[in-house]
A and B are shown apart, each in its own frame.
Chain A
Amino acid sequence: MTDLSRSEEIRFRQEIREFVASEVPESIRLKVAQGRDVSRDETIAWQRKLVAQGWGAVHWPKHWGGTDWSLQKRFVFEEEMALAGAPSIPPFNTRMLGPILLEYGTEEQKERFLPGALNMDQWWCQGYSEPSAGSDLAALRTRAVREGDYYRVNGGKIWTSYAHYADWMFCLVRTDPEAKKQKGISFLLLDMCDEGVSVEPIHHFYGAHILNQVLLEDVKVPVSQRIGEENTGWTTAKALLEHERLATSRHAEARRKLGRLLALAKANQDASGALHQRADLKARIAEVAVQVKALEFATRRGLEMLIRDGRIGVFASSLNLKGVAINQAVDEAIMDIAGVDALAADAAYDGLPRDLLNDGGDARYVAESRYYLRGPAIAAGSNEVQRNIIAKHVLDL
Chain B
Amino acid sequence: MEFMLTEEQQLIEDTVARLLEKQWDPRRDQALLSADVARLPLWHELAELGLLGIALPEEHGGGGMGPVELTVLCRRFGRDQLRSPFLSSLILAGTALTCSPLSALRDQWLRRLATGDAALTLATLEDGAGYDHHHTAIEGQRCQQGYVLSGRKRAVMDATGVDAFIVSCRLNGELALVLLAPETEGMAVASYAAFDGSSLATLTFNDVLLPEEAVLARGAEARAALDAALAHGALAAAAETLGACEGALERTLDYLRLREQFGTKLARFQALQHRASDLHADLEMLRSLVSGAAQSLTHEPAHADAFAAMALAVPVGDRVCREAIQMHGGIGMTLELGIGRYLLRVNALSRLLGDATHNGRLYLERMEA
Contact = CB atoms under 8 A, between A and B. Distances in A.
Given A291-B312, A293-B305, A384 B274 contact: yes
Nearest to A392: B273
Given A289-B308, A291-B312, A304-B1, A282 B364 contact: yes
B273 A290 contact: no
A294 B313 CA distance: 11
Interface string B272-288: 01101110110011111
B42 interface: no
Given A289-B363, A290-B308, A294-B312, A395 B3 contact: no
B273 A300 contact: no
B257 interface: yes
Given A289-B363, A293-B305, A300-B1, A391 B274 contact: yes
A283 to B, nearest CB: 5
A397 B308 contact: no
Of the listed residues B1, B277, B360, the one surrounded by the most CB atoms of chain A closer than 10 A to its CB is: B277
A294 B285 CA distance: 6
Given A286-B357, A387-B277, A298 B2 contact: no
A9 to B, nearest CB: 11
A283 B361 contact: yes
B274 A294 contact: no
Interface in B258-280: 267-268, 270, 273-274, 276-278, 280
Interface in A281-297: 282-283, 285-287, 289-291, 293-297
A390 interface: yes
Interface in A308-324: 308, 315, 317-319, 321-322
A3 to B, nearest CB: 14
Contacts of A40: none
Nearest to B283: A318
A296 B308 CA distance: 12
A396 B257 contact: yes
A390 B273 CA distance: 9
Nearest to A389: B277
Given A286-B357, A289-B367, A290-B311, A391 B273 contact: yes
Interface residues of A, number: 36
A217 B232 CA distance: 65
Nearest to B250: A394
B46 interface: no
A301 interface: yes
> How would you classify the secondary structure of chain B's contact residues: helix, strand, loop or mixed?
helix
Contact of A394 (B3, B277, B311, B364): B277
Contacts of A380: none
Interface string B1-31: 1111000000000000000000000000000
Nearest to B292: A297
Contact of B273 (A282, A322, A395): A395
A282 B360 CA distance: 9
Contacts of B311: 286-287, 290
A43 B48 CA distance: 64
A382 to B, nearest CB: 12
Of the listed residues B286, B288, B360, B363, the one surrounded by the most CB atoms of chain A closer than 10 A to its CB is: B288
A395 B286 CA distance: 20
A262 interface: yes
B360 A318 contact: no
A304 B3 contact: yes
20 contacts: A262-B368, A283-B357, A283-B361, A286-B363, A287-B311, A290-B311, A291-B285, A294-B285, A297-B291, A298-B288, A301-B287, A304-B4, A319-B284, A384-B274, A387-B277, A388-B270, A391-B274, A395-B257, A395-B273, A397-B268
Given A293-B305, A395-B253, 16 more contacts: A282-B361, A286-B311, A289-B308, A290-B312, A291-B285, A294-B308, A295-B285, A300-B1, A301-B287, A304-B1, A304-B3, A304-B4, A321-B277, A322-B281, A390-B276, A397-B268
List the 4 shortest-distance A-B pairs measured between CB atoms, nearest first.
A286-B360, A297-B292, A391-B273, A390-B277
